[in-house]
Amino acid sequence: MQMPQGNPLLLPYTLQELLARDSVQVELIPEKKGLFLKHVEYEVSSQRFKTSVCRRYNDFVVFHEMLLHRFPYRMVPALPPKRMLGADREFIEGRRRALKRFINLVARHPPFSEDVTLKLFLSFSGPDVQNRLREAAQGVGDEFLNCKLATRAKDFLPADIQTQFAMSRELIRNLYNSFYKLRDRAERIASRAIDNAADLLIFGKELSALGSDMTPLPSWATLHLSTWASLKQAMKGLSVEFAVLADKAAQQGRQEENDVVEKLNLFLDLLQAYKDLCERHEKGVLHKHQRALHKYGLMKRQMMSAAVQNCEPESVEQLESRIVEQENVIQTMELRNYFSLYCLHQETQLVHVYLPLTSHILGAFVNSQIQGHKEMSKVWNDLKPKLSCLFAGPHNALTPPRSPAEDSLCSH
């Protein structure tokens, strides 16, 4: 991991630099039927490594486990859930999108992007990638054992690191709650556009069905006029415009799903990874450190009790040896605790580097709305003159409806 000159605690990256590290595509491969179950496979393509490999969900699971083993004090994004039976297309597509977000967050994370396990996952095309990943991870220890600065992490931390940690955690929690609500509303807006497309398409099809109706009408009902025939021909022609409107609405919905909803999901995945990291810090290294201190206190009390009771020298020596071992454990736990805070400080900075993504998301949403309404407005305006075909000639009372502007002019 490259560090700037000076304080290695500070990250020098911008959002554009992180996004430029790699772009990974995850696409579904047509299903292959096994003996009992169908297996879903993914084609994972890395722009950075110029590779394309075939991966299954379980390969992602092992890769995720190895990342947690190698980087216990970093933001490792969560994987989507595994569904054993009855996985429909919607679930499979949702999981594909989630796996794509996961691998891109990992591929752009500074320490992860330089790790051998990532390169192995994105480029190894052999038959047993899971064992290769385990072997690669077992060959080296975690980041604490391999980072030259790990034992000096305390020297780079601010004096009020615990206060900063608590404030950052509260901020990220609030951000997550707000962006979660934004994502839900964006999903509803995109879903409404797709539903609108379906309604417009059905509306057009019904017009076409009316225009294609060949049921004969008695002459006494039509009074020998061709009004119904003219109306049918006009409605059949209008169905084309409604099909175009449906296509425009569907395009807008899909674009907002990809450019707005998915980016909001990506940011939420990052924020959730930070929340999970904070929980691991408290329940993991901090808890182990406190437990080691408690055990050390018990041993010291046993030592004092043994001295008072004049126990045998061998028992006293064994107790002294255990106390020395426990002191070493405590020292290691303290170093790990400070290194965990060091990593947390950097991961907090990383979240803030991603914050400008919100302007990209809002820009994409605004542009989609402008473009979508502009294109649909043009189709509606092109459709309006064709409505004149639906109205009868001068011998009938029907006349085309006026627009609100025309009504205003007439009243004046």
Query: What are the pLDDT digits (tens) for 374-402?
Result: 999 999 998 888 877 666 554 444 455 55
Average pLDDT, the chain: 84
Please tell me the predicted confidence (pLDDT) of residue 397: 43
Q: How far apart are CA 115 and CA 69, in angstroms?
A: 12
Question: Which of 18-22, 233-237, 240-244, 344-348 shows the lowest per-residue confidence on average (mean pLDDT)?
Answer: 233-237
Please tell me the predicted confidence (pLDDT) of residue 71: 94
Q: How far apart are CA 137 and CA 271, in angstroms?
A: 26
What residues form DSSP beta bridges with 44? 26, 53
Cβ atoms 110, 11 nearer than 8 A: yes
Q: How far apart are CA 365 and CA 377, in angstroms?
A: 18
Residue 1 pLDDT greater than 50, yes or no? no
- Amino acid (1-letter code) at residue 16: Q
Q: How far apart are CA 103 and CA 158, in angstroms?
A: 32
Residue 308 pLDDT greater than 50, yes or no? no
Cβ atoms 277, 340 nearer than 8 A: no
Residue 309 pLDDT greater than 70, yes or no? no
Neighbours of 375 (CB within 10 A): 17
Mean predicted confidence (pLDDT) in 175-189: 97
Mean predicted confidence (pLDDT) in 221-236: 73
Which residues touch 253 (CB under 8 Å, ≥6 apart)? 190, 191, 192, 193, 194, 196, 197
Residue 39 pLDDT greater than 90, yes or no? no
Question: Which of 65-79, 126-140, 300-314, 320-334 shows the lowest per-residue confidence on average (mean pLDDT)?
Answer: 300-314
316 sits in the region (left: phi over 0; alpha: psi -120 to 50; else beta) called alpha
pTM strictly above 0.85: no
Model confidence pLDDT, tens digit, residues 51-89? 999 999 999 999 999 999 999 999 999 999 887 666 688
- Amino acid (1-letter code) at residue 69: H
Mean predicted confidence (pLDDT) in 298-306: 53
Which residues touch 166 (CB under 8 Å, ≥6 apart)? none
Please tell me the predicted confidence (pLDDT) of residue 2: 43
Specify burial of residue 65 (Cβ count, 10 A radius: 0-12, 13-18, 19+): middle
* Tokens describing residue 120: 């192995």
Output Rg (C-alpha) for the chain, integer angstroms: 33
Mean predicted confidence (pLDDT) in 288-311: 53
Hey, what domains does the chain have and what are their CATH numbers?
15-145 (3.30.1520.10), 189-214+227-390 (1.20.1270.60)
Residue 347 pLDDT greater than 70, yes or no? yes
Please tell me the predicted confidence (pLDDT) of residue 295: 52
Please tell me the predicted confidence (pLDDT) of residue 394: 47
Q: How far apart are CA 372 and CA 367, in angstroms?
A: 8
Q: Cα 380 to the chain's mean position, in Å?
A: 36
Alpha helices (H) along 212-312: 219-222, 227-256, 262-283, 285-308
Q: How far apart are CA 388 and CA 391, in angstroms?
A: 6
Model confidence pLDDT, tens digit, residues 108-153? 999 999 999 999 999 999 889 999 999 988 878 889 988 999 999 9
Q: With bands split at pLDDT 50, 70 and 90, how would you rate the model's confidence at 229?
A: confident
Question: Which of 11-25, 362-376, 394-408 shows the lowest per-residue confidence on average (mean pLDDT)?
Answer: 394-408
Side-chain-side CA neighbours of 253 within 13 Å: the count stands at 18
